Amino acid sequence: MGFDGIVLRIAFTVTCGLSYLLYGYDQGFMSGVLLADDYLSQMGNPSTFMQGFITSIYELGCLGGCLGSFFFSERYGRKKPIMAGTVLVIIGAVLQTAAFGQAQFMVGRVVSGFGTGLNTSIIPIWQAETLPAKTRELFGSFQYLLVCFGASTAYWANYGLSYSSGALEWRLAVALQMVFALLLMAAVPFMPESPRWLMSHNRIGEAVTILCRMHGTEDETDEEIQTDIQNINQAIELETTAHSTVSWLEIFTNRRETQNLRRIMLGWWLMAMVMLSGVCSIGYYISYLFETSVGLSHNLSLLLSGFNGLWYMASAVIPPFIIPRIGKRGCLMLGALGMGLCFLTMALGIRSGSFGASIVVIIAFFLYYTFFAIGYLAVPWLYCAEIMPLHLRTQGNAITTSSNWLWNFATVMVTPSLMGNEGWKGYLVFTVLNFAFIPFIYVFYPETTGRRLEQIDAVFYNTSPIVCGTEWSKKGKFEADALETALAQHTKGDKEATIEYVDN
């Protein structure tokens, strides 16, 4: 496609978001499928444990996919693995749609999950490395609006198909995910490769051309283009001088100059927080919870799930505007506080069991998604890709994304039993977890908002893991020269060490 500038950034953002639309759709459609009589009959009327296992095995496939990206995506770039992942999503969807038993349906979910895991571990890197720094948060967070669109589409598809009968009620809901996968396959070939990946593989000319297209200029001497080139080269030089040899095993080292292990742990636990916030417990089972926990009718449960999906989508518009104002740390802490209060309200309302309390519980379900959108819809995916060093970004993001799928599996697996056996007390588990996130984020998580990708390396150059009260807890400025200073200090240290060695 021959467009560039703002049009290219929008098209690129929508393309990246299509993979998350697929993820959101999967969260939504299983909520209705689990209530379809023909599906339950075809699957042998599974127990609540098996319902949770059949649903959550998708996350095990996703875990395998993101770990698979660890080994080959750096070699083949960002686009080719995404195309391969999308093909797997389509194959898995076909297997699920045609399933007549638990085994085939679960195999289909694992295959689709592998493709989704591969895509979602690479797309945040592709997006972070390709979008211009000053629009990274704006466009990067807007793409996660499509997660909500996918979930909302699934909820309304479930509601509409509930008026049908037999296999159509659930098979069509499963098959619709192929539409979005085909759109993704059609769009990816026309999008640019990551300029940072190209430069790290000595394809300088291609990288500069893409930078110019993304900035909407043909002038390679443009100040923004030259700044990007300088920062990328400095990041590569800093990482090269910090290591005599480059190996993916460096991701588990914690040298003071790079602190790779610290970066991995921050990302891994942040992705764990996303799942332990309870989003998939609600997302996959909201219709089920409305019917079993709140006591609503089958039809009303599906209808409210549809409106909840629209509310979620509307709430997803908030992050692009709030992130630049309060930063990613502020969004994470505000989101955790709000989600904790919502779960507390759900627990107390369900315990009461009165008609008025049920209305309050429904409102809390809706508000939960608002606070999740503010803090945990877009921010963690952006954050984990940003904090990784350039030459280990793919491997690092694969490891952090694996946490998302591991905890996703765990929460989706236990939700039917937890909420079914413990009732209102099950909601208190997520109440406590969300409140616990706040001090953890305040103490350990540096702020990345307002900093170029390469400048974020300076956050981890000879710094303390405790960031509260330091400059790294505040928003940065794009004109900061922290990376250049760190590079100069490192180069100076190398020279002094060399002189000392020669003198001796």
38-42, 96-100, 479-483, 498-502: which range is least confident on average? Answer: 498-502
The whole-number pLDDT of residue 335 equals 96
pLDDT tier at 143, thresholds 50, 70, 90: low
pLDDT computed for residue 2 by the predictor: 62
- Side-chain-facing half-sphere of 364: CA atoms under 13 Å: 25
Query: Is residue 231 predicted with pLDDT exceeding 50?
Result: yes
Q: Return the pLDDT at 244.
A: 46
Cβ atoms of 274 and 372 closer than 8 Å:
no
pLDDT at 468 over 70: yes
Q: Which amino acid is at 165?
A: S
Q: Which residue has the higher pLDDT, 98 or 297?
A: 98
Q: How confident is the model at residue 141 (pLDDT cuts 50, 70, 90)?
A: low
pLDDT of residue 1: 47
Q: What is the pTM of this model?
A: 0.71
Q: How far apart are CA 255 and CA 296, in angstroms?
A: 56
Return the closest-CA partner of residue 22 out of 181, 132, 160: 181
Start-to-end CA distance of the chain, whole Å, equals: 61
Question: In this structure, which amino acid lies at residue 472?
Answer: W
pLDDT band at residue 136 using 50, 70 and 90 as cut-offs: low
* Residue type, position 487, single letter: L
What average pLDDT does range 200-220 have in this prediction?
A: 85
Inter-CA distances, 141 with 66, 267, 329, 376, Å: 21, 17, 15, 11
Per the model's pLDDT, the better-predicted residue between 45 and 434 turns out to be: 434
H/E element holding 285? none
pLDDT computed for residue 235 by the predictor: 67
User: What pLDDT score was predicted for residue 167?
Assistant: 87
* Alpha-carbon gap, residue 372 to 334, rounded angstroms: 9
Contact of 472 with 459, CB cutoff 8 Å: yes
pLDDT digits (tens, 9 = 90+) for 96-124: 999 988 999 999 999 999 998 888 888 87
Q: Which residue matches tokens 């692009």?
A: 320
C-alpha to C-alpha distance for 104 and 306, rounded to whole angstroms: 28
> Is the pLDDT score of 416 beyond 80?
no
> With pLDDT > 70 as the criterion, what percentage of the chain qualifies?
87
Residue ranges of the domains in the chain? Answer: 5-220+254-473
Looking at residue 351, its pLDDT comes to 87
Dump pLDDT digits (tens) for 5-35.
888 888 888 888 888 888 788 777 887 787 7
Q: Rounded to an integer, what distance in angstroms lies between the CA atom of residue 12 and that of residue 6?
A: 10
Please tell me whether residue 473 adopts helix, strand or coil conformation: helix
Q: Is the pLDDT of residue 500 over 60?
A: no
Return left, alpha or beta for 164; rule: phi > 0 is left, psi -120 to 50 is alpha, else beta: beta
Residue 379 pLDDT more than 70? yes
Q: Given this model, what pLDDT does residue 446 score? A: 93
Decide: 51 and 34 in contact? Cβ < 8 Å: yes
Distances from the Cα of 308 to the Cα of 75, 156, 319, 460, angstroms: 41, 10, 18, 40
Which pLDDT band holds residue 498 (cuts at 50, 70, 90)? very low
> What pLDDT shows up at residue 334?
96
Q: What is the mean pLDDT of the chain?
A: 82
Q: What is the mean pLDDT of residues 150-177?
A: 86
Of 209-223, 239-253, 481-495, the least confident: 481-495
| Spatial CA neighbour of 329 closest among 231, 457, 453, 476 | 476
Is 472's pLDDT higher than 70?
yes
pLDDT score recorded for residue 477: 67
What mean pLDDT do residues 80-89 have? 92
Q: Which pLDDT tens digit goes with each residue over 35-65?
A: 788 888 999 888 878 888 888 888 889 888 8
What is the homologous superfamily of the domain 5-220+254-473 according to CATH?
MFS general substrate transporter like domains (1.20.1250.20)
